[in-house]
Structure 1
Amino acid sequence: MKIFLKILLFVSISTFSFAQKTVLDKPITLKLSNERLEEALKIIGDRNGFSFSYNPADFDLSRRVTLNAAGKAVRQVLDELFRDSATYKERRNHIILQKVAEKPEEPKDIIINGYVFDQETGERIAQVSIFEKRTLVSAVTNQMGYFRMRLPAALPNPRLEVRKERYLGTSVTVNNQQAMDIGLIHTKIDEKPLQILTQTKPSSVPVTDTFKVRVPAPTPVFVASADTSNVPRQKRKLNLENVEKTFVDAFTTAQQAVHIQNVRDTIYRPFQVSLLPFVGTNHVLSGNVINGLSFNIIAGYSLGVNALEVGGFANLVRWDVHGAQISGFANLVGRNVYGLQASGFANGVLKNFDGMQASGFANLTAGHHSGLQIAGFANLTGGSFTNGFQTAGFANVTLGSMKSGQISGFANLTLGNVSGWQISGFGNLALNKLRGIQISSYFNYATVHEKGLQLALFNYADSSGALPIGLFSFVRRNGYRRYEISTDELNYANVTFKTGIQKFYNILTIGSNFGMADKPLYTFGYGVGTALNLGRGWMTNVDLTANKIMQATNRFDSSNGIFYRLSLGLEKKITRHLALFGAASLTGLTAQPGYLKLDNSRLYQPFPTATLRNGLDFTNWVGFQVGIRICNR
């Protein structure tokens, strides 16, 4: 039973191994001299366990052939025997030979094919990039390491560039060879790859290439390409390798992504035209090409642009743009832009921008931006923003510092320091230091407002050395705040809150007489004021308030009077957070005649009572206010 299981396991493994390697890829070793073609085919088949099927009338079977094959694949041996006069098809354990119709004209192209293998282990290598620099014709090896590519027959001295991640790149001269094996040297990630090793097969001297190590001619060499993926990189907060890989994967097919991963050579072209990404004059190597002028009928994909790129729908660039990039819908750049980027919908730059970015909807600069950002809806800058301004119909966001300005229809947000201005229709937020101006219709927020102005209905700052002007301003740390309890000639008790800064603060006040006859039921008012520190705990205040008088509960109409009060007060601290104050005031009241039954004999009236055009009386008097204050500092 054990012997049976061993035999079954051996047969299964053998069958599986054979299934993985086709007959045409099977290596054979054979030496023939002046044999008839018919006999040569029989010998090849008999010695290697397969047979040929063909029409004897299609071939000159009496033709004498000589063959010396050492480890060559069957298809390479057949290429030597038939020299493009036959095609091969594999059916189980048979190879079917068919005659190729003769072409009267000279071939315009030559077919080059072969295998790429690991020179140390002999194993064939899959997903190797092979290309010719002048034509940008390229191929990728299959799982068996086989490649096939077509080059123009008129191309002088064609050379194949062979690249594979974690292998030393090499350059091979084609000469008259149409079938070739190419060996690559594997490099470990911890080893320096820039070593020069002798090539096992002859090739001509490499052309000048700044991405390769220069070696003296005419020694044949393997040449290391400048493959930065073999160099250990330091960790960064943002892993640019992952960003670039995501950027590549989003817009490429599997074969195109292989080229981008393997080929670190930078190829330059003065001009390119494409219909879609990788469908154009740069073929599937467009992701490795920097173009001077680039025109994309629908969309294009390239390594970089050095002058101008125009796209009907979208432009996609892996690295940098120097110049102008214009598209009907969107532009996306993997690194930097120096110049102009304009689109109908959106622009995106994954690193830095120096120039002008304009779109119908949104702009994104992930790094530093210097210049202008103009969008119909929103702008976002991931780093700092300098030497210009952001303007958008809805919002501007800068995650770094802002050394310029922001204008938006709704809101502006800066997470870093602001040195400039923020203007919006609704609100502004500066989440770090602000040296400049915030203007909005509703709300301004600054963590530390060192210098400048806040102008909105509501202003807030953690600390401020600036001037906040609005309906209500609050400075948490070094602001001016007073909670007052006082009495005056009109109300028995008043509660007042003052907030802002010492130079300019807002006043909210409410007073009551607790239902006393001939007195207001209650009053409430709003005002502004300023304070001057006199030293030694003394401070003076000038306040101006407007107050509504309520004579009946829940009655708020024109029959109630309004009085305006200008007061000059003096404060003296008795503890760190407690002070006494007194103030002289000048009050003017507009109300219906006889609205308040004031005893004028006890009040000084500097101006005579007058009747206004609307029939209301204007009464004035000099009054007082005394009370206690709770101070924040």
Structure 2
Amino acid sequence: MNLFKASIFVGIFLSISASSWSQTSTLDKAISLKITNERLEEVLKIIGERGGFNFSYNPKEFDINRRITLTASGKAVRQVLDEIFKGGAAYKERRGHIILQKVEIETEKPKDIIINGYVFDRETGERIAQASIFEKQTLISAVSNKSGYYRLKLPASLPKPQLEVRKERYFGYSTAVTAPSLDISLLQMPLDSRLQPLSPQVKAATLPPSDTLKVKVPVAASASPMLVSVDTVFSPSKPKRQIIEDVEQTFVDAFASAKQAIHIKNVKDTLYRPFQVSFLPFIGTNHVMSGNVINATSFNIIAGYSLGVTALEVGGFANAVRGNVHGAQIAGFANAVGNSVYGLQVSGFANAVLRNFEGLQISGFANATGGHHSGLQIAGFTNLTGRTFTNGLQIAGFANAVLGTTKGVQISGFTNLVLGNLYGSQISGFANIATKKVRGVQISPFFNYAHLHQQGVQLSLFNYADSSGGVPIGLFSFVKRNGYRRLEISTDELNYANLTFKTGVNAFYNILTIGGNFGIANKPLYTFGYGIGSAIRLGRGWMTNIDLTANKIMEEVNRFDSVNGQFYRIALGLEKKLTPQLALFAAASLTGLTAQPGYLKVDLSRLYQPFPVASLQNGLEFTNWLGFQAGIRICNR
């Protein structure tokens, strides 16, 4: 039963397919006949019988008694009708009928000529759909339909028109136009999984001296000597390019019309024009072949699409180029380039280049270069470079990002990001990040990050580096591997106990300290402070430090924001390591105190005061003395 149902289904499917084919390809049916001196009415009946359809027409519009003699072998119905009516009739298909309508033949010299025909596979005889046919002087083009039929309207004044025919995986063909009906056969390339098609080529012998079609002669042993042009040579396959090719195909699909996309796929010839004007990408002097043409100068009223530009391109709204731009590209809204730019690119909103850029890129909102960028990127919001950025400057209102090595300067309103090495400077309104080596300067108000800060300066509130040979300067800096870190427990003339943390690098580190006296009378309740310092290695486990701190004495009645009870200390110390992680230290210090007279209960008479007591405003005094520090340190290295 299942087999019976499947047979019925297949039968219905084939019937529907056959019916659909007959409805959509009546004029493309191939027929053979030989007629000698027959009336037009009888000839149409014979053609209808051979093709399995009927004609509908008004006998008053045609001379049905006109005698016809013709021979056709495997010709399409439309070609036979063309030969009979010589342009005096138009044909339409309707439900198994061909409707004939009379067309007045112009008596004056026609402005245009119609060239039509079919494209065949030379070996199999099958008709080839979606083949590209174009006239190389005017760039007027057509794409063969699913029955292999094409139709071109060329200027009658065109001298020596010549058609170029291209189809993917077929050798190209070039032929002079010798008749209005012109069938073309193409030779398929040999299939080899190790080979891939590259640039199309046409024999130089087919080109007049003034032609702008730039081609070369290939070496192909399998090419027929009858071929006039060859559009493909071979080279070893490159699978690693697949991702790039996918991106480029996406670019083509985004900007090209359906017919343009077919031409781009089929036609690998590089066509050159000194000048072009377009209204839209497929409406202009280069017609739908625009995606295959390199223009010296291009003006696009709304938007344009081309293979390349060698001097200047201006677009009212947008410019899209598949290949390279040499010179200047200016658009009111956006520029998009599928390969590289060498020169200037300016837009009101955005610029996008899939590969490399050398020169100046300016946009109102964003710039993006997929490959290497050498020069300047200036954007109102953001700049992005996919690989290296060299010899230049990135300026953005919000952010700059480089996914590879940067040799230059990044300036942004919020953040800069480098995912490779940085040889230069980063200046931002919030944060800078470099994920590999940094040789240069990072400046931001809040945060800097560098994986390996080999040399230079980090200047921010907070700095971080996995490893550093430079100098981080800020409120708090941390270097993970080779930084300077000490956790210090000490005593001094003011506090019985102090806990201090030092972090940064030897040349410059931050100090956070808190001390107290455990409620002992005539001593501060506790103190806390912040400072900076520098250390010098002396060798054999010895090191000297110089520290500068600002501290606040806190009593039960003392307010935090009060200037009463502030002291400043500079200390010069000496450290000796006992083990790689443990050291002893001692330091001499000079302390200056701002406080009310009698505020500090400590007896300072036993301490040497190098400077006399000075009276300050608000009834405060400035007192100073020499003191000491001593304790142990837990070291990171």
TM-score normalized by the length of structure 2: 0.92
Letter of the structure 1 residue corresponding to residue 417 of structure 2: L
Which one of 558, 561, 564 corresponds to residue 562 of structure 2?
A: 558
Residues 628 and 94 of structure 1: is their aligned pair in 2 closer, same or farther, counting only changes over 3 Å? closer
1:147 matched residue in structure 2: 150
Residues 86 and 204 of structure 1: is their aligned pair in 2 closer, same or farther, counting only changes over 3 Å? farther
**Which whole-Å deviations, capped at 9, do the CAs of 1:229-251 have from their partners, x for residues lacking one?**
x7553232771211111111112
Alpha-carbon shift at residue 274 of structure 1 (Å) = 1.0
User: Does residue 389 of structure 2 align to residue 385 of structure 1?
Assistant: yes
CA distance in 2, matches of 1:289, 1:611: 86
Residues 473 and 94 of structure 1: is their aligned pair in 2 closer, same or farther, counting only changes over 3 Å? closer
Q: Structure 2 matches for 1:220-369, cutoff 5 A?
A: 220-226=226-232, 233-236=237-240, 239-369=243-373
CA distance in 2, matches of 1:481, 1:10: 85
Q: Which runs of 5+ in 2 are unaligned?
A: none
Letter of the structure 2 residue corresponding to residue 616 of structure 1: L
Percent identity between the two aligned chains: 67
Residues 193 and 575 of structure 1: is their aligned pair in 2 closer, same or farther, counting only changes over 3 Å? closer
What's the RMSD between the two structures over aligned residues?
2.7
Letter of the structure 1 residue corresponding to residue 227 of structure 2: V
CA distance in 1, matches of 2:4, 2:478: 91
User: Does residue 492 of structure 2 align to residue 488 of structure 1?
Assistant: yes
Equivalent residue of 2:249, what SS?
helix
Moved more, 21-30 or 325-334: 21-30
Letter of the structure 2 residue corresponding to residue 367 of structure 1: G
Which one of 557, 562, 577 corresponds to residue 573 of structure 1?
A: 577
Letter of the structure 2 residue corresponding to residue 20 of structure 1: W
CA distance in 2, matches of 1:450, 1:5: 75
Moved more, 330-339 or 277-286: 277-286
**Which whole-Å deviations, capped at 9, do the CAs of 1:124-160 have from their partners, x for residues lacking one?**
1211111111111111111111111211111122111
1:17 matched residue in structure 2: 18
Q: Structure 2 matches for 1:459-478, cutoff 5 A?
A: 459-478=463-482
Question: Retained in 1: the 8 A contact 2:251–2:338?
Answer: yes
Q: Structure 2 matches for 1:610-629, cutoff 5 A?
A: 610-629=614-633
Q: Structure 2 matches for 1:417-456, cutoff 5 A?
A: 417-456=421-460
Alpha-carbon shift at residue 554 of structure 1 (Å) = 7.8
Q: Where does structure 1 differ by over 6 angstroms across 4 or more consecutive aligned residues?
A: 1-12, 191-195
**Which whole-Å deviations, capped at 9, do the CAs of 1:17-52 have from their partners, x for residues lacking one?**
253143322111112234343443333334444343
CA distance in 2, matches of 1:541, 1:219: 89
Residues 553 and 165 of structure 1: is their aligned pair in 2 closer, same or farther, counting only changes over 3 Å? farther
CA distance in 2, matches of 1:541, 1:16: 92
Equivalent residue of 1:24, what SS?
helix
**Which whole-Å deviations, capped at 9, do the CAs of 1:382-437 have from their partners, x for residues lacking one?**
11011111111111111100111111111111111111111112111111001111
Alpha-carbon shift at residue 66 of structure 1 (Å) = 2.4
Q: Structure 2 matches for 1:515-554, cutoff 5 A?
A: 515-552=519-556
User: Does residue 188 of structure 2 align to residue 182 of structure 1?
Assistant: no
Q: Which runs of 5+ in 1 are unaligned?
A: 196-202
Question: Retained in 2: the 8 A contact 1:310–1:327?
Answer: yes
Question: Retained in 1: the 8 A contact 2:173–2:228?
Answer: yes
Which one of 105, 110, 113 corresponds to residue 107 of structure 1?
A: 110
Alpha-carbon shift at residue 338 of structure 1 (Å) = 0.1
Question: Retained in 2: the 8 A contact 1:36–1:63?
Answer: yes
Equivalent residue of 1:29, what SS?
strand
Alpha-carbon shift at residue 85 of structure 1 (Å) = 1.2
1:163 matched residue in structure 2: 166
Q: Structure 2 matches for 1:46-85, cutoff 5 A?
A: 46-85=49-88
Question: Retained in 2: the 8 A contact 1:463–1:477?
Answer: yes
Letter of the structure 1 residue corresponding to residue 230 of structure 2: A
Equivalent residue of 1:630, what SS?
strand
Question: Retained in 1: the 8 A contact 2:592–2:623?
Answer: yes
Which one of 412, 415, 418 corresponds to residue 414 of structure 1?
A: 418
Letter of the structure 1 residue corresponding to residue 127 of structure 2: R
Question: Retained in 2: the 8 A contact 1:189–1:231?
Answer: no
**Which whole-Å deviations, capped at 9, do the CAs of 1:460-510 have from their partners, x for residues lacking one?**
111111111111111111111111000111001000011111111111100
CA distance in 2, matches of 1:6, 1:482: 87
CA distance in 2, matches of 1:361, 1:13: 57
Residues 518 and 110 of structure 1: is their aligned pair in 2 closer, same or farther, counting only changes over 3 Å? same
Equivalent residue of 2:123, what SS?
coil
Alpha-carbon shift at residue 4 of structure 1 (Å) = 14
Residues 235 and 13 of structure 1: is their aligned pair in 2 closer, same or farther, counting only changes over 3 Å? closer
Alpha-carbon shift at residue 205 of structure 1 (Å) = 6.7
Alpha-carbon shift at residue 267 of structure 1 (Å) = 1.0
Question: Retained in 2: the 8 A contact 1:463–1:479?
Answer: yes
Equivalent residue of 1:239, what SS?
helix
Equivalent residue of 1:614, what SS?
helix
Question: Retained in 1: the 8 A contact 2:526–2:553?
Answer: yes
Question: Retained in 2: the 8 A contact 1:513–1:521?
Answer: yes
1:199 matched residue in structure 2: none
Moved more, 102-111 or 564-573: 102-111
CA distance in 1, matches of 2:424, 2:557: 49
Question: Retained in 1: the 8 A contact 2:276–2:297?
Answer: yes
